[in-house]
Structure 1
Amino acid sequence: MSPESALRSMPDLASRAVGGSVRYVSDDFFGDGLALIDPLPARHDPAAFGRRGKIYDGWETRRRRAPGAEFAIIRLAAPAIVRGTDINTAYFRGNYPPKASVEATTLLGYPDTDDLLAAVWTPLITSTALTGDAPNVVLVDGPADQLVTHLRLTIDPDGGVARFRAYGQVVADPRLLSGHVDLAATLAGGRIVACSDAFFGSPNNALAPGRAAVMSDGWETARRRDTDNDWLVVELAAPGVLRDVVIDTSTFIGGAPGWAALSDDDTGEPLVERAALLPDTAHRFRIRSRSQVSRVRLDVYPDGGIARLRVHGSVSANAHETIAHRWLRLLPPDQAQRVDTTEFF
């Protein structure tokens, strides 16, 4: 797998679909900065004009007539290690920025705009040349293992960007792993580590928050023409004893799998025996095993679409402590010192 393909296999943590938000833009005279994190691809109508000029589906600033650059601040859906970004200039041909850079900061909680504008920013991607009307996928060249909460996209000097994607991995927050929780959820730190096919929809969609609104919000495979079946493997946010699983086929009315099964990917132990699935239905199955599980494998037969996969369980005290130490180690020292560790030690 190429570095770019590996990057795109990770969840986009800037996306509004998982909880990202645009907190500030220095200028959006022509195009709304909120469009940057729209999960859908940019659309374009060549005939669409408004009172301010051509209408683009993206963030577009006015033309700068003074030194400087424009920027946008994006809050990630959860604190994460960012591995790379896509600064997509779709449909911006004569008005895209010639170069861009990305910086990061870590501010836990809910900092306001003044806090963000006064924050100390660390370079993740130094100034890089952009191509117009195209994806611009760039790997992080700054600190490799830094837990960050916000990104600042700077375009030099001005112009339009259709979409901004930030690919990475959520690091499990120990404060959110008490009691019975969804250990597969992206926002808890669960992640897809292998998948047989993702022709119509990314497997990351199956771990996203909320309910799927349409089929494209879920994981969907191509139609199989052989005797095998499709599957995905999830590394849980933390090793845990599992209680139940939800295999949700909502919105898949003519394309749901016929059956599904869940197993411990490390040992092969069946957790949910092969069971028939209904279209457009959230199925809940009880898990009887008391073994601690780190990875689960979902097999669907023979193919089809899964809107959401929820794996509920509890984390052992030892695993919880290990996660807490790692999470604190990845935080900047000033943020780690502000954490009330009595919440998880």
Structure 2
Amino acid sequence: MYPDLALRTVGGSVVSATDESFAAKENLIVPGPPVFDPTTFGHRGKVYDGWETRRRRTPGHDEAVVRLGAPGIVRRIVVDTTWFTGNYPPQAAVDGRADDEWFELVPLSDLKGDSENAIDVRCDRRVTEVRLRIVPDGGVARLRVFGEALPDPALIAALGTVDLAAVENGGHVRDVSNRFYSEPQNLLLPGPARSMGEGWETARRRDSGNDWVEIGLGVESRIAVVELDTRYFLHNAPARAVLGTAGRTLVDTDVEPDTVHRIVLQDPGPVTDVRLDIHPDGGLSRVRLWGTPTEAGRQALQTRWHQAH
């Protein structure tokens, strides 16, 4: 379960586009699925929740450049043409940028209209920007750039104690029991949630079990402080939370609604991944795991950094 490195809430930005006559380029990276109302028209024509260029009358193609919020190794691209039926581009390609050099991530490929066109990427270079090329013109609802964030080892070292679960530091969700209302990757996004919809919320359980999420840290670390944030979850926060790793319980605590819980750990030992069990169900806004990389973690990150350049 790779995070979307281009997502606006991760820090992504659409820095340029050759044309956006019908719909704005910024729509490419907003969270959530695109929406559509067949009755809405504006001065530019039909209102679309996506990026749409004018009909080309000359040779060429249109393109948009997206700066990743969390630079890293791209594993999968989704060119989402949902709701674009008679005005989608028949083909698209995606390039990556690293060290001021553009290179191919996805070759020119056929697209389907009103579809999530998913393409696996086989490239181990660290990417900071992507360029979507649509041929010759048309509309794309969303561009998703799924992958593994690769932070700068020098920055991690200089910062000292950091959130090793954060997407920008390589944190990622490995598995989850339930994602009925919202995505578990939201737990690891930068900044505080601005509403309940920006957290992770499960369906109401009607059995004797509980929900859980498994989180991989960016590097092997020693966690000093665990932060469990239930802000905006007023009547649907979990009653209890248990955080553990490799057979060890790190935190076992009652949970209050609409509250930031911070728990100091005593000698937790090296950690590479954790499992958070919430009892019995409900939602959280954010999970923060503040700590410092171990020596093995620092060396592993340094090795990955050099291999990706």
With normalisation by structure 1, the TM-score equals 0.85
Alpha-carbon distance in structure 1 between the residues aligned to 2:197 and 2:231: 11
CA deviation vs aligned residue, 1:191-229 (integer Å, no higher than 9, x gap)? 111222212111111011111112221111121122121
Tell me how far 1:150 sits from its aligned partner.
Answer: 0.6
What is the aligned counterpart of 2:269 among 291, 298, 315?
A: 291
The amino acid of 2:15's aligned partner reads R
Q: Secondary structure at the match of 1:177?
A: helix
The amino acid of 1:250's aligned partner reads R
The amino acid of 1:288's aligned partner reads Q
Structure 1 equivalent of residue 217 of structure 2: 236
Between stretches 192-201 and 92-101, larger displacement belongs to: 192-201
What is the aligned counterpart of 2:300 among 315, 322, 345?
A: 322
Does the CA-based 8 Å contact 2:6-2:70 persist in structure 1?
A: no
Distance change in 2, residues 1:259/1:290 (3 Å):
closer
Structure 1 equivalent of residue 145 of structure 2: 166
Identical columns (%): 45
What is the aligned counterpart of 2:258 among 255, 258, 280?
A: 280
What is the aligned counterpart of 2:289 among 300, 307, 311?
A: 311
Alpha-carbon distance in structure 1 between the residues aligned to 2:181 and 2:40: 30
Does the CA-based 8 Å contact 2:226-2:265 persist in structure 1?
A: yes
Structure 1 equivalent of residue 242 of structure 2: 261
What is the aligned counterpart of 2:197 among 216, 229, 233?
A: 216
Aligned-pair Cα RMSD in Å: 1.4
Alpha-carbon distance in structure 1 between the residues aligned to 2:101 and 2:224: 43
CA deviation vs aligned residue, 1:221-266 (integer Å, no higher than 9, x gap)? 12112212111111111111211100011111111111001112x2
The amino acid of 1:191's aligned partner reads H
Structure 2: runs of 5+ lacking an equivalent: none
Structure 2 equivalent of residue 154 of structure 1: 133
Structure 1: runs of 5+ lacking an equivalent: 1-8, 108-118, 332-345
Q: Secondary structure at the match of 1:280?
A: coil
Does the CA-based 8 Å contact 1:176-1:188 persist in structure 2?
A: no
Structure 1 equivalent of residue 91 of structure 2: 99
Tell me how far 1:290 sits from its aligned partner.
Answer: 4.1
CA deviation vs aligned residue, 1:6-59 (integer Å, no higher than 9, x gap)? xxx321111101111101101111111111111132222222222232222211
Alpha-carbon distance in structure 2 between the residues aligned to 1:320 and 1:224: 41
Structure 2 equivalent of residue 187 of structure 1: 168
Alpha-carbon distance in structure 1 between the residues aligned to 2:197 and 2:268: 35
Structure 1 equivalent of residue 55 of structure 2: 63
Alpha-carbon distance in structure 2 between the residues aligned to 1:173 and 1:234: 21
2:65 counterpart of 1:87? no
Between stretches 14-23 and 208-217, larger displacement belongs to: 208-217
Where do residues 198-213 of structure 1 align in structure 2 (5 Å cutoff)?
198-213=179-194
Report runs of 4+ in structure 1 exceeding 4 Å deviation: none
Alpha-carbon distance in structure 1 between the residues aligned to 2:243 and 2:44: 54
What is the aligned counterpart of 1:136 among 112, 117, 124?
A: 117
The amino acid of 1:209's aligned partner reads P
With normalisation by structure 2, the TM-score equals 0.95
Which is strand-richer, 1 or 2? 2
CA deviation vs aligned residue, 1:99-130 (integer Å, no higher than 9, x gap)? 111111114xxxxxxxxxxx532111111111
Structure 1 equivalent of residue 18 of structure 2: 26
Q: Secondary structure at the match of 1:245?
A: strand
The amino acid of 1:166's aligned partner reads V
Q: How many residues are paired up? A: 307
CA deviation vs aligned residue, 1:47-81 (integer Å, no higher than 9, x gap)? 22222322222111111111111000101112211
Does the CA-based 8 Å contact 1:172-1:238 persist in structure 2?
A: no
Tell me how far 1:304 sits from its aligned partner.
Answer: 0.9
Does the CA-based 8 Å contact 1:206-1:218 persist in structure 2?
A: yes
